[in-house]
Amino acid sequence: MKAIRIPAPFRCEHVDVADCGSPGPGEVRLRVCQVGLCGSDLTTFRGLNPMVSYPRIPGHEIGAVIESVGEGVPARWRTGTRVLVSPYSECGKCSACRVGRPNACRDNQTLGVQRDGAFTEFVVIPHERLFTSRILTLEEMALVEPLTVGFHAVDRGAVQVGEWVAVLGCGAIGLGAIAGAATRGAKVIAVDVAEEKLELARACGAVQTVQVPRQDLHTCLQDFTAGEGPAVMIEAAGQPATFRACVEETAFAGRVVYIGYAKAPVEYETKYMVMKELDIRGSRNALPADFEAVIRFLEQRAFPVNRVVTRTVSMENAPEALLAWHENPGAVTKIHVKM
């Protein structure tokens, strides 16, 4: 079957791979219809993803149709049903799994990252990884997973009604955090370097924006929050400067949530952590409840899907689209590939 593979940094190619075969007990075979390219795919292409070995078939943001089902699959998963996929795995035994946080499983294997993904014509998936909606299109289904990562970060930050929440980085993950915080009734400040992405952030629920470095982040955050700083800072840019800014700018007794991976070691002024008694929390992947929340959210048709998906291309044009994203990252929020 046809597939897209990244064999080495800065290379992306079409290949033929062995068919994934028939589904076993508890599994379903999916015909992949639409796949999103995400920031982790871009870092894989650039050779900067520490969790990836090569060659790697990317793809974990999936809209698909069930082609066949294996023995023991519940009746709700019928041939022809449109589905999306949670791309994670868990061991069920490690410390994270034992406390009900399998999204942080020590041995997680995410599709397209630690194992080959869904940029293929067909995939076989355990039925427990499936979600569906009678309302969402395949395009919207392929957008669910990246938004769940942002929604999960909002949950990790325990965002409350009326709180000021600053989100640093307005890519697809950051936009998910903005939308998730806004749906909880928070007042969201979006921070990015690109004016176009800040305009999109407003459409996703931000009430204030800061364009750095044109505007001074500290001054703006102080002005918006009556001199206190945001109650919650969510880092979705993956830069050492934004990691530091979260600790420096969060209000006393506030919460910091890190989604991104910094591209270099980060040095802190540790006194802020202690003086402010900050809660600093990592946020990884998403839980089933986050998938259900995003599905319900998108079914309301309040999210600007057509603006967030910057470009939709054919499978044949996917390598070119990935290269173009690498060359001009500021121009892209999300690329979808029709398979």
Q: How is 68-133 classified by DSSP, letter by letter?
A: EE-TT--TTS-TT-EEEE------S-SHHHHTT-GGG-TT---BTTTB--S-BSEEEEEGGGEE--
- Binning pLDDT at 50, 70 and 90, where does residue 312 land? very high
Task: Average the pLDDT over 188-211 and give the result.
Answer: 97
Predicted local confidence at residue 48, as pLDDT: 87
State how far the Cα of 195 lies from the Cα of 310, in Å rounded to an integer: 15
Predicted local confidence at residue 334, as pLDDT: 94
The span from the first CA to the last CA of the chain, in angstroms, equals 12
Rg (CA), the chain: 20
Given a cut of 80, is residue 263 above it in pLDDT?
Answer: no
- Binning pLDDT at 50, 70 and 90, where does residue 331 land? confident
Residue 338 CB contacts under 8 Å (≥ 6 apart), including other chains: 33, 34, 312, 313, 314, 315
Whether residue 55 has a cis bond before it, omega within 30° of 0: yes
For the domain made up of 2-132+304-338, give the CATH fold. Quinone Oxidoreductase; Chain A, domain 1 (3.90.180)
- Residue 173 tokens read as 């993950």
Predicted local confidence at residue 264, as pLDDT: 85
SS3 state at 253: coil
**Which option is the CATH number for 149-282: 3.30.1490.20, 3.40.50.720, 3.40.50.300, 3.30.160.150?**
3.40.50.720
- Residue 317 tokens read as 């044009």
Given a cut of 80, is residue 136 above it in pLDDT?
Answer: yes
| Other residues' Cβ atoms within 10 Å of the Cβ of residue 122 | 19
What is the pTM for the complete model shown? 0.95
Express as a percent the part of the chain with pLDDT over 90.
Answer: 94
SS3 state at 201: helix
Residue carrying the six token digits 């969402």: 136
Give the residue extent of every domain in the chain.
2-132+304-338, 149-282
State how far the Cα of 28 lies from the Cα of 125, in Å rounded to an integer: 5
Query: Residues 218-256: pLDDT tens digits?
Result: 999 999 999 999 999 999 999 999 999 999 999 999 999
State how far the Cα of 330 lies from the Cα of 172, in Å rounded to an integer: 12
Query: Residues 32-83: pLDDT tens digits?
Result: 999 999 888 999 999 988 889 999 999 999 999 999 999 999 999 999 999 9
Predicted local confidence at residue 260, as pLDDT: 85
Closest of 219, 221, 223, 218 to residue 241, by C-alpha: 218
State how far the Cα of 136 lies from the Cα of 330, in Å rounded to an integer: 28
Query: CA 176 → CA 154, 269, 279, distances in Å?
Result: 9, 29, 21
